[in-house]
Amino acid sequence: MIALIDYGMGNLHSVAKALEKAGGKVVLVKKPEELAQASRIVLPGVGAFRDCIGALNESGMDAAILDFIASGKPFLGICLGMQVLMDASYEFGQHKGLGLIPGVVKKFPDTHPEHGFKIPHMGWNDVVLASSSTPHPVLAPLAGKQVYYVHSYYCAPLNPAHILAACSYGEYPFAAAIGRDNFIGVQFHPEKSQKAGHDLLEAFLQWKP
Amino acid sequence: MLSKRIIPCLDVAHGRVVKGVQFVDIIDAGDPVEAAIKYDEQGADELCFLDIRASHESRDTLYHMVTEVAEHVFMPLTVGGGVKALGDIENLLHAGADKVSINTAALFTPELVKNAAERFGSSTIVVAIDAKRVEDENGGHWECFTHGGRKPTGINAVEWAKKMSDFGAGEILLTSMDADGTKAGYDIPLTRAVADAITANVIASGGVGTLEHMAEGLSAGRADAVLAASIFHFGTFTIRQTKEFLAARGIPVRLA
């Protein structure tokens, strides 16, 4: 069963439906003990960083997620669910993340619209897979495709090896996907990325890290 | 590179598509799910549903429709029509909308936009502006109108767009009431004036009749996205044809 973490921040319907369409059996999970049955976790992204990490702290889900990842089972974070993997974020003050990837979450600089640079970064953009001999199995189906992004903040990992795919907004490159071992986080929304997103979710469901 | 977005717009009433959708192989032209699936197959970047008969009684029908559509297509959905309060926005987001468009209510209570952006995030809040050219001693300006372009508000449309952008709206859905329905092209000076004045995204709307018009809205008009209803509904052009045309013009689009 795929545990879709519900931290009370909004509609998880489209993520749940997209996972089901990709062949997953999805259960919405609010309490840490419910993770015992889970073979995979998806942490979706809704709301602001402080609210998300605050809700995870309060329910004890933060520790449960860390235990789950330490057990070696596959984890996927989407958008904010990716950003909480980092050490900290500067969205509405500084807030501590799960600390699985060294580095912080930063805001795109505000630039005059004449330069065509608008916040949030919203729309379809590239996913450039990190150059290595074998592409990450979850990201491999995305080669040459575009995916849907909506975000004003982005992850800046200190170790380039943690950046699994990149994208750039105007002149600013940022991490489109991060991760190591058995966990991965993506900045874009697979559940809104039509076929490309479907293919990623299918690959995640088949991933054996 | 970030792609320019092509957004088909569907007018709905009581949970049904009301402008004549004439896809040849569609069984029920009024079915929003079927129309959404068709546009999904053609590679639309986003879908926009506007409830033109927004009434209190028909809200539940609209929410139900949004949920149905969101279960079948996996792309961003913008929904608007009769949005008056934070509760309306919350209900639409919970039903499965990704963005909610606020029109008249923003003119009466601008703080709604500010509060909505703070609560739900800028990327979920679209402000729809219906603008019309009016003459003045300096040669003219654009003004916000309500009631389908019949009632003037005295509010300068470019200044209003700037205010809404500053209040946190992530996108401005800009419709020229002069161009709407003419098929003579978007109002390029209006689109350009707004796009250059604000940090929010601009969706050009109203007047598109040819693929050349789409290209103009995105290049000369500097819009981030173009919205069209009839040329897609009546099958004049498919989304794919539109994108191939734009790509040949060097405009970045997603060729799915």
Domains belonging to chain A, first-starting first, are 2-206 (3.40.50.880)
Report pLDDT digits (tens) over B148-186: 788 999 999 999 999 999 999 999 999 999 999 899 999
ipTM, 2 dp: 0.91
- In this complex, the residue of A18, A21, A146 whose CB is nearest that of residue B254 is A146
C-alpha A130, offset from chain centre: 16
Distance (Å, rounded) from C-alpha A197 to C-alpha A188? Answer: 9
CA-CA-CA-CA dihedral for A5, A8, A11, A16, to nearest 10: 20
Q: Is residue A197 less than 8 Å (CB to CB) from chain B?
A: yes
Which of A11, A119, A152, A189 to substitute to test the interface with B, most B CBs within 10 Å?
A11
- The pLDDT assigned to B14 comes to 87
Q: Which chain B positions have a beta carbon within 8 Å of A18's beta carbon?
A: 74
What pLDDT tens digit does each residue of chain A (209 aa) get? Answer: 999 999 877 678 889 999 999 999 999 999 999 999 999 999 998 778 888 899 999 999 999 999 999 999 999 999 999 999 999 998 878 999 999 999 999 988 866 555 556 778 999 999 999 987 788 999 999 999 999 999 989 999 999 999 999 999 988 899 999 999 999 999 999 999 999 999 999 999 999 99
Report the C-alpha gap between B242 and A139 in whole angstroms: 29
Q: Do A195 and B200 touch (CB under 8 A)?
A: no
Q: Which residue has the tokens 């300068």?
A: B156
Q: Which residues of B fall within a CB distance of 8 Å from A17?
A: 70-71, 74
Look up the pTM and report it: 0.93
pLDDT at residue B27 greater than cutoff 70: no
Q: 10 Å Cβ neighbour count for B78?
A: 24
Determine, for residues B5 and A193 on separate chains, whether the beta-carbon distance falls below 8 Å. Answer: no
Active site residues per annotation of B: 11, 130
Nearest neighbour of A17 by CB, restricted to B71, B222, B254: B71
User: Of B199, B72, B167, which is closest to residue A194 (Cα–Cα)?
Assistant: B72
Q: Tokens 């990190």, residue?
A: A130
For residue A126, give the chain B residue with the closest CA: B1
Q: Which chain A residue has the Cα nearest residue B219? A: A116
- A152 and B95 within 8 Å at the Cβ level: the answer is no
Report residue A57 as tokens. 């702290």
